[in-house]
Amino acid sequence: MESESKLLGEYIGGEKDSFIKILELYQETVYTFLYLSLPNKLLVPKAFQEVFRLISIRAPEFKGKTSLRCWILQITTQVGHEIKKKKLFSREKNRAPVNSQLITVDEAEPEEEFKEIVKALNLLKSDQKTVVILHDNLAIPILEIAQILKLSMNSVLLLLHRGRRNGAQTLSRWKKT
């Protein structure tokens, strides 16, 4: 969307309020993706802040070849994968402190069914889990997921199908026991 890309341009030009608007536009999407994709929920706030720190640093690199949402989700998925591979936050004492006043998101206690779905998601392979979260939880279109993950549409469709099937099998096994 042109107006969202314009906000990033304004931020690069020195208008700090534009970054706050970007944060407000995408905070729920980024937080939801990280919450559902990271097995260690204690890392979600740090990962959230890392995503927006990287957005502020990489803002001049945005060329507009994809939508701003796609670019932000590319950064979000990269941060998520780096955390899972333990490349990020593994040496906390060497990192600068994260600004804890950036944003707070109220975390309501999830319902039991939601907890089961999150457990089932955590059992999926990483690439399947990412596609299922992006498509089924965040309603990102298949074509945009292909751009975010730099995969073909067929690969995304295959991962989505397998992720849904494997997740459904896991949930049905739990309900039988």
125-152 residue pLDDT tens: 999 999 999 999 899 999 999 999 999 9
Query: Helices 68-84 & 142-149, crossing angle to 10 degrees?
Result: 50
Query: pLDDT of 75-120, one tens digit each?
Result: 999 999 898 888 776 654 444 444 433 333 444 455 777 778 888 8
Chain centre to alpha carbon of residue 40: 14
pLDDT of residue 170 exceeding 90, the answer is no
DSSP string, 151-163: --HHHHHHHHHHH
Give CA torsion, residues 57, 30, 6, 135, to 10 deg: 130
Q: Which domains does the chain have, with CATH numbers?
A: 1-107 (1.10.1740.10), 109-177 (1.10.10.10)
| Dihedral pair phi/psi, residue 51, rounded to 5° | -60, -50
Pair 43, 83: CB distance under 8 Å? yes
Query: pLDDT of 24-73, one tens digit each?
Result: 999 999 999 999 999 888 999 999 999 999 999 999 999 888 899 999 99
